[in-house]
Structure 1
Amino acid sequence: MVKNIILLFFFSISFLAQAQEPVSIHLLEKSGLQYKEFYDVFEDDEGFIWLCANKGLLRYDGREFKWYNHPKQRGLSVFGVKQDSLGRIWCQNISGQFFYVQDDEMHLFIDLKEYLKGELPNFKIYNNSLLLFCGSKIYKINLNTKLIESPWIHSSGISTPLQTNEGLFFIKKDTLVHISPKGDLKKILSTNLSTTSKNGEAITLGKSRIFQTTSSLFLLEHRFGLNTFFRFNISKKNITKMKGAEALEDKIIHTCFNNNNEIWFGTDYGVLVYEIKDEQFQFKKQFLKDKEISQILKNQEGNYFFTTLHNGVYVIPNMHIEDCQISEKNKNINSLDIINDNTLAFGINTGTVGIYNTITNKKIYIETKTKGHISTLKYHKKTNLIFISKSYSAFTLDYSNFKLKKIKTRVFLNAKSLTNLKNDDLLLTDDNSIKIFKEGNLDNDTLIYNKRTHASHYNRDKDEVYIAFVDNLVKYDSVWNPTVIQHKNQALLGKSITQMSNGIVWFASLKNGIYGIKNDSILYHYTTKNGLMSNNIEQIEADKNILWIALDNSVQRFNFTTQKFETLTKRDGIISYDISGIEILKNKVYLSSDEGLLSIDKHQPFKKQNNEIYFNAFEINDRDTLVASIYKLAHDQNTIKISFNVNGFSFNHKGKYKYRLKGLNDNWLNTDKGINSVKYNSLPAGSYIFQVQSVLENQADNGAIKELSIVIYKPFWQTWWFRLGGIMLIFGSTVLFFKNKIKKKEKERIAELEKISLEKELMAINLTALRSQMNPHFIFNVLNSIQDLILQKNIKASYDYIVTFSELIRNALNYSSEDFIPIEKELKFLNVYLKLEKLRFGDAFNYTINSDIQELIKVPSLLIQPFIENALVHGLMHKKGEKELNISFEFKEEYLKCIITDNGIGRKKVNEIYTRQKNKNESFALSAIRKRLDIFKKKYNNNLGYVIEDLYSNEKDTGTKVILTLPFEYDF
């Protein structure tokens, strides 16, 4: 008695009183959307989920999110999503703008910022009107004319409205008002609730709210600083204050959700669930405790969506799958066993043992405080001990007082399985032996040595033991005679064994599905070909003639009687596929894993899935186009991609699609799970019908077949009119070909004559240029200079002069026969020429030649020198003092420029001198060069030529610049 009292006290201070909570999924966690603040959620008639967030309006189809906005939208936040009778989706923003989405595009309906002035009203789409429920008035806007009744109803104390099948209900002052579906207004009853105290101070704060259950209407008001609830009795024309919701009094209530006959309150402390019993609220449960819930939705599939103000969106896909709320550091569970009808024991990877009361949801954790993880544990009823095997140590835990005792013998270490046999014997299998402990005593009898095991199972009906070795499955009879069980002469390899009430022993293989064994024969074999979601099995557990199967991608329930498989995935609330144990207590199935302990109501976790399919995209040659029922395409529009989808939270994680393209292949093909598109490349011309159907494995009623038509026309060259036209075209082309050939030859002959003429003209101009080089005045001056040197007996200087002069004459004669010469030769020629001119002009004359051209190019021969001579004779000859001449080259890919700059007297003074001398004849060399450049223009089609610029400084002539644009050729 004292021991029990101590035990009860121990439980009261050691258990963590965390209730089970339905498994929720963070919807946006892996979507890539960084949205956290959500205000509203709504499901439209087609099964799309619409979400209002601080960053805009989103639509969710079960796979992807789509964002909607409008260019005139002020701010991103939107609120109050709804659907009208035309299927349009409505929302509003705090700036007074109202939008609707139609044909997949957001439209601005009306801007009421001058009316609302920053107030965010509740709005309803009702009787072809937009009704805005503000705090002191109601506006009515005609959806067709946008005519505003301002205000439609004027009164203080207007509540948030409630829309039901019977119409709209709202509070106006202290009166419950009803608007019928026809638009008639009717006062239902007076609340007789005072809104101000005797001192005139306000009793209520904020808007009142009306909500309902299946049978009643309720009023929520914030009175005297507390949430207060009232129930309307319309037949008796009164209201009564409700009790039992004291936990809600100080909460911020954002939404009230009617779920069958329960009321779910979305608050700043999660969801609180109540039901009405004995005329008062009765608390049932609370979940999502640390989330501020702004809105709740239950969609057509039975999934619950919860928007939050700080944590995004959560989905509870199944209220019958619950997390047992194991503490974070103890979640990695390696083994699981039943103690009694209400209690489970589990071993944790850290070496801790957990005890869980399934009624009170309380847990206790006992640390073994030794190295190594718990490999397995087993409750032994006769001794009331929990046997615990670890890697390097072993213990017993006395369930009556939770005293932990270390097992000294090493034979109990690192067990792979512990199984209770008849006479309360305990069977242990490990990595090299099989042992039996008589009646739980630790004196053991070793049966087999040097044989690694995975699992064991005791068939109590036949007193048989099944042991899964690493290389075979073996059955032992009552005297331990072995029988090896194989399938088609192949060894069975696996790690979990169980037995149905019909006597069939089930074996879970590592990668070949499950096997049903009876009388040492394999009678049944299930794989992905006949029902399983995967051939890789983690654990199995039988419940009468029901088999629960943990796979590497799902959890399945197999009804042997109906031969039907049903599937649960992470989208249904399965928190992990790394399942370490399955145990069944009463009406619940418990799964242990690396993510904690999960409970499943074994009768209600499976829901009927939506399987209505639709086409959501069509691509032609990798470009999107509008979805239509028929496509007529050209022959080169023959690469198409068709996308389809089933709206819903779970389908694409369980279901597949089958499809065919009639006209190409009449056989049905299947997509892989999660794939919702098909692409055809290079379809031949013809008529096709594409058909697709949603398929849920082992569900008889597949979705309806959807189809679209595709016509790909033949290329024009395969049509009869093209062939006839082709014959005529060939005949006409033949005639034209010979006519054009004759014309072409004539043109070629004329072009050849013109080429010869141009070449002759160019040769003549080259000779003219040569004559200009050899102008008599220049030659006379040079010879005089040589004569002076000889008379002065300056033999060396006269010799150098004669050599330089002869080199100039020789180069001029050589280059005159070539159209283009390498630029190095041109620069050398110019340099020789200027050396001679410097002898003539004396020390007052200085010149520079700048060229950094790295390319191997050729320039026209004897084309630059006349411009230099012109600068010397006309610009510098008449200048007193220093005479400067600069020659530079600029080379780019498209042009070559030579820039000649002198500091002479300028063209204006030259003209004055020539006018006095009555000499106005153009330079003979420049005239020849202009003709030569004209020929180059015809040949190269380039903008060739020269420009002469006068240079000034302080409005005085300072010289002349010639910019000569030259043709060039690459010297390869």
Structure 2
Amino acid sequence: MRIISLLIFLLLSNFGWCQNPYYQAIDKTSGLPSNSVYDIFQDSKGFMWFATNKGICRYDGTVFKTFASEKQTSKSGSCIAEDGFGRIWYANFDGYLYYVEKGGLKALNQPTSLGYFKFGILKNELFLIQPNAVLVYDMKTLKVKSKYQIPGTIIKSCYSSGENFYVLGDFLYVFSNSKNHKKYALPSAFSDEMTAPILNHWNQKLIVNSKSSSTFYVFENGIFTKKDINTPLKFLQNTAVNDDFLWICTPNGVLKNDLKSKASTTYFSNQNISSVFKDRQNHYWISTLNKGVLFIENFDNNYIDLWPRPVSMSLGKDEIFIGTEKDLIYKLNCNNLKTNKIFETENNHSINQILADTVSKQLFFTSFKFNILNKNNQLESDYSIAVKDVKKVDEKYFSFSASSVSGIFFVDKNLKSSWDFIFEKNKDNVFSGFNQVSLLKNSNGKSTEYNASNNMIYYATNNGLFAVTNDGASTEIKHKNETLYLARIQKYNDQIIGLSTAEKLYSINSKNQISIFELPNSIKNEKFQRFFIRSHFGYFFATNGVYEYDFVSKKTQKVMSLSNDIEATDVILKDNKLFFATSKGVVIKNRKEIGNYPTPKLVINEIQVNGKRREVNEISELNPNENDVSINFSTLSFIPNESYSVCYKINDANWKTLDNTTKNLKLSALSSGDYCIEFALHHNNKKIGFQQIKFEIKKPFWLSPLFLLILSLLVLFLFYAFYKYQIRKIEKQNKIILEKNELEKNLNLSALKAIKSQMNPHFFYNALNTIQSYILANDKKQAVNYLSKFSSLTRSILEMTEKEFVTIAEEISTMTFYLDIEKARFDEDFEYTIAIEDDADIEQLKIPSMLLQPYIENAVKHGLLHKSGLKKLDITFSKIEYVIKIEIDDNGIGRQKSAELNAIKNKKHQSFATEAMQNRIDLLNKNKANKITINFIDKQNQSLQSLGTTVVIEIPINFQV
């Protein structure tokens, strides 16, 4: 009887080997540093940690980060744990401990290594095996606080339950802390049976397994109890306890053993399993030594590994027909989940369209031809037409969409239908012989659907959406008067739901009115590649998952997660079970047990200021030059390959969204001030998981209140000094203006005096007497000539009063008039000459007006008038470099003799014109860099007798500037 029971158990066990749950593979293609994984752990934040052949790494669901150190003796290791300070620990297989702290991997200072043994962390103490001893470290200081000797003992295994640290040697040592430990004797046959023991715990009990035996011991309250695993085991690599199950990891899969009922099931018999871990979200992670990590969302989700890969599915009565990518069809029994092949060819064409008719029990499918299988799964006929979609119209007819043509066909000509009329009307258009007629031509059909509420067949084509009635009339259905291009259409009640080539959803009611199909906010922004309607549920296939929408309750949920290594192409709903055609096989999920996916989490990993890592509590105040801030974060998805975007805002600014792949926010050259940076996750069209970082960048010293006060006072002082400077400047300018006005006044007076000197009554009296003498002498010609010169001189003098400077030519003209008038007073013994040297441009060169006349008058009146004999006056103009040189030379009695004569006449006499001109010269030279100079040369012979006077006047050319 025992033999029969064992045989039955072995048969059941063998059957269990095939019952693998659906899993996602996480390996090097996903970013895992190595496919050899030895241990798995989930930290308090939610990160997953893997001990791999390339070291320890952290995983947030999408991104891996490996931690390494130059001080590592080797990278491979196991026994991952977390201490109370948030540090992650692991031991490499050389027996050395390392921990991750502040973004780096550090080594524990330990004296030596006994080889790989598990360490233990109990509250704030770390227990480490050493030769014949157990070292206890203080977790805060990481220094040895005590040492417990284990003399003469060969350590076989160690284990930490979180409450106790177990050391198995010749005895079992149990440490609850550094001060409390107990020692227990082992059963007599223990050492022989438990070669290479592996320790674990379950419900305050210690479980001891052997690597080469199905026997194990349970230690509780100081007593060892021997137990057996019903399944024979050749080699055991590791164990794990989750809930009431002992998971035994072997090179040929993992055995799930119920510690209460002793029932066992084996999974993944073709995998070399190293560990099993159940996270806080009740998901399972199974590590392998050559295939990475297997993520199992739920062990109740069955998985049928099919090859070739499934592409399309159709539901019969109690079976699902599965079309694959290599012209092969499986039939899956929905009750026992067994599959068998019903059709296969050597062609490599995918079966993208398949439909099972539950009435005729025929199967319609398309690979490189359109095929029909009868109820005995025999190929009844095939036709060279590329049918894309087939839908049932009534008991007799089916609609179909195909390349270049769309129409209807029947399976039983003896049946009656309202569509017989249109079929008979178009039966001459039969083209391939499977009892079909064409209703639309010259259009590539993509999808078809029948709406019983208005008795119309709809065809989605490359030329738009068309509705055909049973009288043969076809109408294009447009949206806002524009052609609608739909890739797939499905029916729900009296609506046709269509997915456009632009990945938008539309609804067409029974009156052929089109509207945008509104999905819930949680998925309305998703882009869908395909969709299916099953019962009152819609299944929408997006890039990262499949979403279920309940048309009745309007609720939605994610029913399957997709990633780069898995693609879903079809879904069938049967008895509240979902069957997905995926690139890995058929995945079966129970709708009622799907529930909501775990809410993702946003975690701030580290902050860098000017490229240096800083803790969050260390950045509350930053110096003015610490203004480059980088914030690194992770989005914990808890489901592999689920990606979420992160949004942020600074102070009261608007929210900004980062790219899904961006895990770092860099803020450069921040100005001083207070900053509040908020982060949030985008999940189901909402912001969740808010995180906030606050810090202040101090103002530079030049913006401090004291500095600003000093600066303000300095500015006020400078402003006051500038004000005083401007006042002095204005006063100086006013003084200059006054002086200028005074100068101009004096110049004007000087000019008037010069005019007066020329137009004094004596001069006029003499001139008029001369004219009178000419008239009395009846010399009219001379009188007119003299009067003309007199008037010209008068006019010229008056014109000069309006000018400050005149040309030499104008001055010569005036002098000529004056000398000609004066010459008339003398006898024929007076001569004058005016000479101009070649380089003197008299038409361009200018001199102050009425400057020369007084000196000429003095020469005539005081020098020549009292001279006897020939009287000569020579005036010469020349240009020497940048100076106009004027020489007035006479051969008169000289200045000294003239002064003596004037003194006799009038002791107080002083030349009026000379004094006026000197004053004028002084006024003209005022504030001038280049001045007018006047030199008097008294000419004498050897006997010191006067030969006359020469006046030399030098005027700078740019004097008027």
* Structure-1-length-normalised TM-score: 0.61
For 2:262, the equivalent position in structure 1 comes to: 280
**Within the alignment, does 1:586 sit opposite 2:582 as a pair?**
no
Q: Alpha carbons of 1:509 and 1:181: their partners in 2 closer, same or farther (altered >3 Å)? A: farther
Q: Alpha carbons of 1:91 and 1:374: their partners in 2 closer, same or farther (altered >3 Å)? A: closer
Alignment-mate amino acid for residue 286 of structure 1: Y
Q: Alpha carbons of 1:256 and 1:513: their partners in 2 closer, same or farther (altered >3 Å)? A: farther
Report if aligned partners of 1:127, 1:182 keep a CA contact under 8 Å in 2.
no
CA distance in 2, matches of 1:34, 1:208: 27
Q: Alpha carbons of 1:494 and 1:281: their partners in 2 closer, same or farther (altered >3 Å)? A: same
* Alignment map for 1:693-712 (pairs within 5 Å): 693-698=680-685, 702-711=688-697
For 2:649, the equivalent position in structure 1 comes to: 660
Question: SS state of the match for residue 423, structure 1?
Answer: coil
Alignment-mate amino acid for residue 570 of structure 2: G
Q: Alpha carbons of 1:303 and 1:241: their partners in 2 closer, same or farther (altered >3 Å)? A: closer
For 2:591, the equivalent position in structure 1 comes to: 602
Q: Alpha carbons of 1:70 and 1:455: their partners in 2 closer, same or farther (altered >3 Å)? A: closer
Report if aligned partners of 2:83, 2:123 keep a CA contact under 8 Å in 1.
no
**Within the alignment, does 1:209 sit opposite 2:190 as a pair?**
no
**Within the alignment, does 1:58 sit opposite 2:33 as a pair?**
no
- Please state how far the C-alpha of 1:543 moved relative to its aligned partner: 3.9
* Alignment map for 1:360-439 (pairs within 5 Å): 360-364=337-341, 366-369=343-346, 372-391=349-368, 393-400=369-376, 402-407=377-382, 410=384, 413-439=385-411
* Alignment map for 1:238-387 (pairs within 5 Å): 239=225, 241-246=227-232, 249-251=233-235, 253-275=236-258, 279-283=261-265, 285-287=266-268, 289-317=269-297, 319=299, 323-327=303-307, 330-331=308-309, 333-341=310-318, 343-358=319-334, 359-364=336-341, 366-369=343-346, 372-387=349-364
Q: Alpha carbons of 1:637 and 1:124: their partners in 2 closer, same or farther (altered >3 Å)? A: closer
Q: Alpha carbons of 1:716 and 1:369: their partners in 2 closer, same or farther (altered >3 Å)? A: same
Q: Alpha carbons of 1:439 and 1:236: their partners in 2 closer, same or farther (altered >3 Å)? A: farther
CA distance in 1, matches of 2:660, 2:98: 37
CA distance in 1, matches of 2:678, 2:348: 61
Question: SS state of the match for residue 280, structure 1?
Answer: coil
Structure 2 spans left out of the alignment, 5+ residues:
1-14, 414-433, 723-961
For 1:775, the equivalent position in structure 2 comes to: none
CA distance in 2, matches of 1:260, 1:462: 57
- Please state how far the C-alpha of 1:416 moved relative to its aligned partner: 1.1
CA distance in 2, matches of 1:154, 1:462: 91
CA distance in 2, matches of 1:16, 1:364: 22
**Within the alignment, does 1:671 sit opposite 2:658 as a pair?**
yes
CA distance in 2, matches of 1:52, 1:537: 38
Question: SS state of the match for residue 144, structure 2?
Answer: coil
For 2:952, the equivalent position in structure 1 comes to: none
CA distance in 1, matches of 2:76, 2:535: 51
CA distance in 2, matches of 1:193, 1:489: 91
Aligned counterpart for 1:448 among listed residues 427, 437, 440: 440
Alignment-mate amino acid for residue 418 of structure 1: V
- Please state how far the C-alpha of 1:361 moved relative to its aligned partner: 4.2
- Please state how far the C-alpha of 1:123 moved relative to its aligned partner: 1.7
Aligned counterpart for 1:131 among listed residues 127, 130, 142: 127
**Within the alignment, does 1:163 sit opposite 2:153 as a pair?**
no
CA distance in 2, matches of 1:487, 1:193: 86
- Please state how far the C-alpha of 1:538 moved relative to its aligned partner: 1.7
List per-residue Cα deviations over 1:910-944 (Å, max 9, x = no partner).
Answer: xxxxxxxxxxxxxxxxxxxxxxxxxxxxxxxxxxx
- Please state how far the C-alpha of 1:318 moved relative to its aligned partner: 5.4
- Please state how far the C-alpha of 1:658 moved relative to its aligned partner: 2.6
List per-residue Cα deviations over 1:668-688 (Å, max 9, x = no partner).
Answer: 333343334444566555433
Q: Alpha carbons of 1:641 and 1:724: their partners in 2 closer, same or farther (altered >3 Å)? A: farther
Report if aligned partners of 1:569, 1:654 keep a CA contact under 8 Å in 2.
no
Q: Alpha carbons of 1:629 and 1:620: their partners in 2 closer, same or farther (altered >3 Å)? A: closer
Report if aligned partners of 1:170, 1:178 keep a CA contact under 8 Å in 2.
yes
- Please state how far the C-alpha of 1:146 moved relative to its aligned partner: 0.7
Question: SS state of the match for residue 29, structure 1?
Answer: helix
Report if aligned partners of 1:661, 1:690 keep a CA contact under 8 Å in 2.
yes
- Please state how far the C-alpha of 1:548 moved relative to its aligned partner: 1.1
- Please state how far the C-alpha of 1:281 moved relative to its aligned partner: 2.3
- Please state how far the C-alpha of 1:106 moved relative to its aligned partner: 3.8
Moved more, 59-68 or 177-186: 177-186
Report if aligned partners of 1:536, 1:551 keep a CA contact under 8 Å in 2.
yes
CA distance in 2, matches of 1:696, 1:717: 43
- Please state how far the C-alpha of 1:80 moved relative to its aligned partner: 1.6
Question: SS state of the match for residue 85, structure 2?
Answer: coil
Moved more, 588-597 or 622-631: 622-631
* Structure-2-length-normalised TM-score: 0.62
CA distance in 1, matches of 2:253, 2:721: 85
Alignment-mate amino acid for residue 120 of structure 2: K
**Within the alignment, does 1:75 sit opposite 2:74 as a pair?**
yes
- Please state how far the C-alpha of 1:507 moved relative to its aligned partner: 2.1
CA distance in 1, matches of 2:213, 2:628: 66
- What CA RMSD, in Å, does the superposition of the two structures yield over aligned residues? 4.3
CA distance in 2, matches of 1:47, 1:312: 20
List per-residue Cα deviations over 1:434-456 (Å, max 9, x = no partner).
Answer: 33332356423433333322112
Q: Alpha carbons of 1:135 and 1:532: their partners in 2 closer, same or farther (altered >3 Å)? A: farther
Aligned counterpart for 2:189 among listed residues 173, 194, 209: 194
Q: Alpha carbons of 1:437 and 1:16: their partners in 2 closer, same or farther (altered >3 Å)? A: farther
- Please state how far the C-alpha of 1:549 moved relative to its aligned partner: 0.4
Question: SS state of the match for residue 443, structure 2?
Answer: coil
List per-residue Cα deviations over 1:293-342 (Å, max 9, x = no partner).
Answer: 22232333444333333344444455565543122xx12x443212333x
Same amino acid, percent of matched pairs: 18
List per-residue Cα deviations over 1:18-63 (Å, max 9, x = no partner).
Answer: 65542222243243x6534332222221223333334333333445
Alignment-mate amino acid for residue 713 of structure 1: K
CA distance in 2, matches of 1:208, 1:634: 55
Report if aligned partners of 2:136, 2:178 keep a CA contact under 8 Å in 1.
no
Report if aligned partners of 2:23, 2:294 keep a CA contact under 8 Å in 1.
no
List per-residue Cα deviations over 1:540-596 (Å, max 9, x = no partner).
Answer: 23342x3210124532222345544434675x568544x442222223323335554
CA distance in 1, matches of 2:106, 2:442: 76
Q: Alpha carbons of 1:282 and 1:398: their partners in 2 closer, same or farther (altered >3 Å)? A: farther
Report if aligned partners of 1:508, 1:540 keep a CA contact under 8 Å in 2.
no
- Please state how far the C-alpha of 1:696 moved relative to its aligned partner: 0.7
Report if aligned partners of 1:174, 1:193 keep a CA contact under 8 Å in 2.
no
Alignment-mate amino acid for residue 679 of structure 2: V
- Please state how far the C-alpha of 1:417 moved relative to its aligned partner: 0.8
- Please state how far the C-alpha of 1:422 moved relative to its aligned partner: 2.0
Aligned counterpart for 2:517 among listed residues 502, 505, 525: 525
Question: SS state of the match for residue 374, structure 1?
Answer: coil
CA distance in 2, matches of 1:168, 1:150: 13
Report if aligned partners of 1:494, 1:510 keep a CA contact under 8 Å in 2.
yes
CA distance in 1, matches of 2:713, 2:62: 53
For 2:144, the equivalent position in structure 1 comes to: 146
Q: Alpha carbons of 1:595 and 1:462: their partners in 2 closer, same or farther (altered >3 Å)? A: farther
Q: Alpha carbons of 1:582 and 1:446: their partners in 2 closer, same or farther (altered >3 Å)? A: same
Alignment-mate amino acid for residue 250 of structure 1: K
Moved more, 427-436 or 673-682: 673-682
